[in-house]
Structure 1
Amino acid sequence: MMNKILVVCVGNICRSPMAEYALRSRLDGIAIASAGLDALEGYAADPDAIRVSAEHGLDITPHRARRVNQALVNEAELILTMEVTHMRELMRRYPTSHGKVFRLGEAEDFDVPDPYRKPIERFHDSFGLIVRGVDVWTSRIKALA
């Protein structure tokens, strides 16, 4: 059984918190966290990320951004990134992450584009892709249990 999943993007205020909370809503008993490659510690989720998540029944208001670190990487059994570039950077910075880092959109070969400072439609688009990726990973994880 998988115990810890880490979701990673750049700032940890849009995509990774939305994915973290979407995974949490589907996977009971698994610790799910998120972090950013270049996150500004302590920042709240983006207001548009909060709004779009709320429209889908997810309250991400408690979220606070944090930066990826070696401890988070070591603890995670699975690390999901939003883009292939995040995956490569994570493995470059943390060689111990090799073999457990995948893209959220791995199965369907897509990246989740960053909606930060873009119109709310981009947040809806990104959220839709996040849910697609979360659905695939949720069924894979449950099949392993």
Structure 2
Amino acid sequence: MIKNILVICLGNICRSPMAEGLLKKRYPDKNIASAGLREITVGWSADPFAIRVMKENGIDIRGHRARLLTADLLKKADLVLTMEKEQSDIVKYSFPNYRGKIMRIGEYDDVDVPDPYSKNIDAFRESFNLISEGLDKIGRQLICPENGAAAAS
């Protein structure tokens, strides 16, 4: 059973905070966290456009602060979600003991979630939609498969 979910992106200021917020809303009984692969953004708040897109969807991520991915965070996670295949590859290479729990949010559709950083609000909305769609499928397959089976029947 998946209880602890970790979401990873490059800087932990755009995509992973959006995914973390969405997961917390959908699964309040789960422990959800996020982290980034870049040390430079540690301590930063979520991007203003990410905050705005999440607010449009009824989720408040204003309190988010970026942090760096660590082995301890990976160890605690039952499922680790990345935004891009390249990020999955980096994490699997850097932390080989945790390979089996790492997958892309867009895994089931074989899509990456593009980084909206320094782009317009529409890029953030597109990323949010891809994250939401990916989490729909992951939720049915992995997080709450019993709900997916009930919904299918």
Class of the TM-score when normalised by the shorter of the 2 chains? over 0.9
- Cα offsets for 1:70-109 (capped at 9, x unmatched): 1001111100000000000001111111111000000111
Q: d(CA) in 2 for partners of 1:144 and 1:100?
A: 20
Q: CA separation in 1, counterparts of 2:11 and 2:146?
A: 31
Instruction: Please tell me the residue identity of whatever aligns with 1:25.
Output: K
For 2:81 and 2:16, locate their aligned partners in 1 and report how far apart those are by CA, in whole Å: 9
Q: Secondary structure at the match of 2:114?
A: coil
**After the TM superposition, which parts of structure 1 deviate over 4 Å for at least 4 consecutive aligned residues?**
none
TM-score (norm 2): 0.91
Q: CA RMSD in A?
A: 1.2
Residue 25 of structure 1 is matched in structure 2 by 25
Q: Which residue of 2 aligns with 1:86?
A: 87
1:36-51 alignment, distance < 5 Å: 36-39=36-39, 40-51=41-52
The Cα of 1:66 is off from its aligned counterpart by: 0.2
5+ residue gaps in structure 2?
A: 148-153
% identical equivalent positions: 48
Partner of 1:127: 128
Q: How is 1:50-61 mapped onto 2 (pairs within 5 angstroms)? A: 50-61=51-62
The residue aligned with 2:114 is 113
CA shift, 1:144, in A, is 5.6
- Greater CA radius of gyration, 1 or 2? 2
Question: Does the 8 Å CA contact 1:23/1:138 hold for their aligned counterparts?
Answer: no
TM-score w.r.t. the length of structure 1 is: 0.96
Distance 2:139 2:25 in 1: 10
Q: Distance in 1 between matches of 2:51 and 2:28?
A: 22
Which structure's residues are more often helix, by fraction? 2
Q: Find the counterpart in structure 1 of residue 150 from structure 2.
A: none
User: 2:97, 2:68 → 1: CA distance?
Assistant: 17
Indicate the SS of the match to 1:128: helix
Structure 1: segments with no counterpart, 5+ residues: none
Task: Please report how far the alpha carbon of residue 52 of structure 1 lies from its aligned counterpart in structure 2 after TM superposition.
Answer: 0.7
CA distance in 2, matches of 1:21, 1:139: 18
User: 1 CA distance for matches of 2:34 and 2:70?
Assistant: 11
Number of residue pairs aligned between Structure 1 and Structure 2: 145
Work out whether residues 26 and 138 of structure 1, in 8 Å CA contact, stay in contact via their aligned partners in 2: no
Which residue of the partner structure matches residue 96 of structure 2? 95
The whole-number CA distance in structure 2 between the counterparts of 1:81 and 1:2 is: 16
